[in-house]
Structure 1
Amino acid sequence: MSLNNLDTLYRQVIMDHYKNPRNRGSLEGDSVTVDMNNPTCGDRIQLQLHVEDGIVQDAKYEGEGCSISMSSASMMTQAIKGKKIEEALEMSQTFSDMMLGNDVDTEEMGDIEALQGVSKFPARIKCATLAWKAMEKGVHDQ
């Protein structure tokens, strides 16, 4: 697949998660809630995690921001459900490495790979990592 076609596909995946967010809403019952924002561009997120026996049972978010921050939150909540906390944190580290432009194995990342191009735009990296930073804080605070 040519680089242009790949960029187009990635843009489509990002816009799909932005226009049709997965896991948007709030959790009922016992959950960890983390509020974070990116003051540089105004993105904000409230992430809720239901963790039981060291496994992320459910994850939901509310917030507003650019397509990158909101689609990243959608992709992240989808990816970490059913994962052990350690696995979710490993995914977060892989994502962070990807945002730094490092070569990473994106096979386990699913749609998240579509955000790889953000690494070329340093000002947007904080947008993409906002939900991930909230998840890291949430699992450490629980």
Structure 2
Amino acid sequence: MASAMEQLYQQVILDHSRARSGERDIDAAHGESFQVNPTCGDECRVKVTLDGDTIETLAWTGRGCSISQASLSVMHEMLEGESLQRAEELGEIFRELMHARGKELDAHKQEELEDLSAFTGVAKYPARIKCALLGWMALRDALLQAQYGEEKGGEHV
């Protein structure tokens, strides 16, 4: 039987997978990345526009499991309008969480994650970690393109 916290986490993921924040297309992106998880077929395209060192617009499209879609939705809510430094910091903390095998991080890092802490239980399942990180891989690539004009193309997770 799932604990109350696990049930809350599951609800956050389900809510975000149903009511997806930031799921839209934009035309004039400064950076764009298409990523595919070949293990399960999840895919996403993340587009960004920058205003100096700020993520002015973060938009995404994709299809896949509730975990990948919810992760993209939470990523959008937490990072659109934020600094590039904040995006990198949050991405690092989220990757750390995904490699913690279902254990929470220290209290400060868990607090920084806000709704992303709902993915703590996902990290217990190695096959699902790639689902949760798919959009973050795309974001990192899109931001590199936006900053440095790199054409890295899509990569497999």
TM-score (norm 2): 0.85
Query: Which residue in 1 is equivalent to 2:111?
Result: 107
Query: Which residue in 2 is equivalent to 1:96?
Result: 95
Alpha-carbon distance in 1 for matches of 2:97, 2:13: 16
Q: How does 1:32-43 map to 2 (within 5 A)?
A: 32-43=31-42
Q: Deviations over 1:96-124 (max 9, x none)?
A: 00001162412122211101111100110
Aligned letter for 1:131? Answer: G
Query: Which residue in 2 is equivalent to 1:128?
Result: 132
Alpha-carbon distance in 1 for matches of 2:124, 2:29: 39
Equivalent position SS for 1:57 = strand
Q: How does 1:1-142 map to 2 (within 5 A)?
A: 4-101=3-100, 103-104=105-106, 105-142=109-146
Equivalent position SS for 2:72 = helix
8 Å CA contact 2:29, 2:47 repeated in 1: no
Q: CA deviation at 1:29?
A: 2.8
Percent of pairs with identical residues: 31
Q: Deviations over 1:16-75 (max 9, x none)?
A: 000100011112434321111100000000101111101001111101000000000000
Q: How many residue pairs end up in the alignment?
A: 140
Alpha-carbon distance in 2 for matches of 1:31, 1:25: 16
8 Å CA contact 2:99, 2:123 repeated in 1: yes
Alpha-carbon distance in 1 for matches of 2:85, 2:134: 19
Alpha-carbon distance in 2 for matches of 1:58, 1:29: 10
Deviating above 6 A after TM superposition, structure 1's stretches of 4 or more consecutive aligned residues are none
Higher relative CO (Cα under 8 Å, sequence separation at least 6) belongs to: 2
TM-score (norm 1): 0.93
